[in-house]
Amino acid sequence: MLLRSLLGVLPFAGVALSQAAMQYTDPDNGITFWGITDSAHSVTYGYVFPPLATSGANPTEYIGEIVAPLASQWVGFSLSGSMIKSLLIAAWPNNGKIVFTTRYATTNVLPDVYNGPIITTLPSSMVNSTHWKWVFRCQNCTSWEGGSMDPGAAAATPAWCQSTIAVDNPADPATSMVQHTDFGFYFFAFASAHVSASVYNNWAAGGTGGGSTTTTTTTTTTTTSTAPTATASPYDYIVVGSGPGGIITADRLSQAGKSVLLLERGGPSTGETGGTYQPNWAKGTNLTKFDVPGLFESMFTDANDFWWCKDITVFAGCLVGGGTSVNGALYWLPSDSDFSTSNGWPQAWTNHAQYTAALKARLPSTDHPSTDGKRYLEETSVVVSKLLNNQGYRNITINDTPDSKDHVYGYSAYDFIAGKRGGPVATYLQTAKARKNFKLQIYTNVLNVVRNGSQITGVKTNDTTVVGGFYPLNPNGRVILSAGSYGSARILFRSGIGPTDMINLVKSDPVAGPNLPPSSQWINLPVGYNVSDNPSINLVFTHPSINSYDNWANVFTNPPAADAAQYLASQSGIMAQASPRLNFWRAYGGSDGVTRWLQGTARPGAASVTTSYPYNATQMFTITAYLSTGIKSRGRLGINAGLNAVPLVNPWLVDPVDKSTLITGLQDIVSGMSAVPGMVMITPDNTTNIVDYVNNYDPSTMNSNHWVGSNIIGTAGKAVVDVNTKVFGTNNLFVVDASIIPALPYGNPHGMLMSVAEQAAAKILALSGGP
């Protein structure tokens, strides 16, 4: 069971939280709870506390309830909003009874059984032919090893999770279980959810009926939860996903005077978005983990990794900024070739220059991000440049000549700004938020678009504060999916758009299935096909001059004191840059007549080492070699029975010439080592040649996480979206994210993607029939 961590107290300026706890009365027992009903799954979560202490410690218990349809095989929650180092409670029905478990985890693994809470199931619990209800008293439940929750908090954000997949052994509270199939957060003012001692004690003893509460509100006695009565306001445009595609598109649409709702399923990231997750050494500042470039490597080692989408089996960022808030921020301005017809783009997209220029004006790149203008930890650049100079490479400022990508190298370029993470969050989002016609709403998971045949009327979400979780469009309004290659594809599947095998998986799901349109309205498109990602291989070396920076092991918890102090003082020094230090490119003519490009990225440290050599870990550095433009290998992504997004067919080195080209590129890299005295390759070492190394390389570790093509742009019958990014077979549904890119660009695609968003927004605004 994986519950996601809270980043900060909400709401904050320009952002709304989609769900808020409300008071209701359970008619079966008369208990007044405060809670929500998750509209996506019709699960109610409710809690009530004894009175707050007038002095001394606050109460350590509460009464809770879960009411769920039988389709919810198990349900769980964390009142602290976190999985890591938090008390986790889950329950499920079994043979007419409720089985429950208390769990605790220090990392994102199956939580261990946790002893300490005393839980008593109360008499109004039941299981019938359609639902199950668990009413319980939870004592010693407000604190636990390493943490606690505050029953007097005026602003808290608990988490819930739900699964349509049963636990392994329903009779055993210690059973194993697979990861939840959905999750969410909501706003809860715990301070309001208290009743008098006499009322609470009556309920805690199994009694029923009402009584005087410590707050005066109107309650209902006709349903088990307060149904949302608000109808969401309509918008001209609903944009789904606040990654680079969504933010830039939403900004340009709102700039044009359109009313725009940007929905993000995760929470804040950088300090200016309301994020608060920061290292202890940055306490007292507005700098979060996502602001500090030097913390990039810790994104993959932090046990509290709430920023990754837990229902996508590859790395995908679920937070404001999407991947641009958690990646290494390598930023390559696109070349003409990247948008060429030979690279799969329609002719109308080849004139990208004006859109790339607009991007560059808003977001310039830098290859010296430290605010003092100096470069730090550059030993790796020096060593690798010597290796490449001996092979005919030339040194350039890469973004000064984006079309030069053969036998060139240069300092790594980023979209950092003033020594901090920049990207669309620091630029386009800020101008959008300043407009009254724009709204960003976080923790709002879009489940599917709602459509009547080809016409989209709005989106269905997990928001329990509006009727049906439904957000409508204005007349002639439009929905734009920007949820990423996996996220947008899954929303299409859940909306009856895509291959029949994927839609049938949705149809079989007891919760998502009823939201599908009739099968006569399904639209068969190649959603999930044509997927490409850079196959990448790591080579690990040592050299006496290298400083591996302790392999970035303690940058979040305990970096060198002088480096942390320098960064806090002026956003300068080592911590002002992510780990890459140098990049290079080379073109290779394949035996099939197709030219493929190899990109190299050099950085201090190493992710893993396999060697028979003794070596000095303080001298390690890595060259990662990627194949990019020209590769032929393609894969497929989709969903599984739990509706998690997964790769179905891996896209790496499927084509034999792709593989032989990468091998040749790796052999070329190491061929000049003799010209760099002291340089030793330790992975692979002299016991393994390059061919065997590639043949035995774990395919799952070839993932560069540069997924493109799952909603490919092109012509009817071959593609998912047309030249204006509109989904074929629909009137007003669009996709603007990496999934429409038909083939990999020369380098890391996020710079190209932002240019794509600039051009897509212009095309959508120019398209007739819109709001």
Instruction: Cite the active site residues.
Output: 706
CA 48 vs CA 33, 114, 116, 751: distances in Å: 5, 23, 20, 49
Residue 747: partners with Cβ closer than 8 Å, 6 or more residues away: 330, 332, 405, 583, 585, 599, 628
User: Over 619-648, what HEC string results?
Assistant: HEEEEEEEECCCCCCCEEEEECCCCCEEEE
C-alpha 380/C-alpha 547 separation (Å) is 8
What distance in Å separates the CA atoms of residue 151 and residue 234, rounded to the nearest whole number?
Answer: 36
Helices marked H in 478-556: 484-494, 500-508
Interstrand relation of 235-240 and 470-481 (parallel, antiparallel or unpaired) = parallel
Nearest alpha-carbon partner for 482 in 428, 435, 431, 434: 428
Sequence-distant (≥ 6) Cβ neighbours of residue 422 within 8 angstroms: 329, 363, 415, 416
Q: How far apart are CA 753 and CA 363, in angstroms?
A: 13
For residues 475 and 235, the answer to whether their CB atoms sit within 8 Å is: no
Measure the CA angle with vertex 292, ends 286 and 295; round to 5°. Answer: 130
481/249 Cα distance (integer angstroms): 10
Strand partners, 727: 721
CA 263, CA 254: separation in Å to the nearest integer? Answer: 14
CB 725 within 8 A of CB 757: no
Element (H, E) at 324: none
Residue 303 tokens read as 């046990």
- Return all residues near 431 (Cβ < 8 A) that are at least 6 apart: 251, 255
Listing from the earlier edge strand, what are the strands of the sheet with 394-395?
A: 394-395, 408-411, 582-589, 595-604, 620-627, 536-542, 680-683
Contacts (Cβ under 8 Å, ≥6 apart) of 324 = 243, 244, 317, 415, 423, 424, 425, 750
Distance of CA 57 to the CA centre of its chain: 38
Closest by CA position to 153, among listed 188, 185, 186, 195: 188
The DSSP code sequence of 684-726 is S-TTS-HHHHHHTS-GGGGB-S--B-TT-BSSTTT-SB-TTSB
DSSP state of 156: B
Spatial CB neighbours of 41, under 8 Å, sequence gap ≥ 6: 68, 69, 71, 72, 162, 182, 511
Closest to 25 (Cα-Cα) out of 228, 162, 208: 208
- Count other Cβ atoms within 10 Å, centred on residue 568: 17
How far is it, in rounded angstroms, from Cα 699 to Cα 703? 7
CA dihedral 121, 127, 130, 136 (to 10 degrees): 0
Name residue, tokens 């190899």.
Answer: 598
The DSSP call for residue 93 is: E
Closest CA to 14 of 227, 216, 251: 251
CA distance 32 to 47: 8
Task: With beta carbons less than 8 A apart as the criterion, state whether 442 and 320 touch.
Answer: yes
Residue 669 is which amino acid?
Answer: I
Taken in order 214, 215, 217, 220, the sign of the CA dihedral is negative
Q: Residue 541, SS3?
A: strand
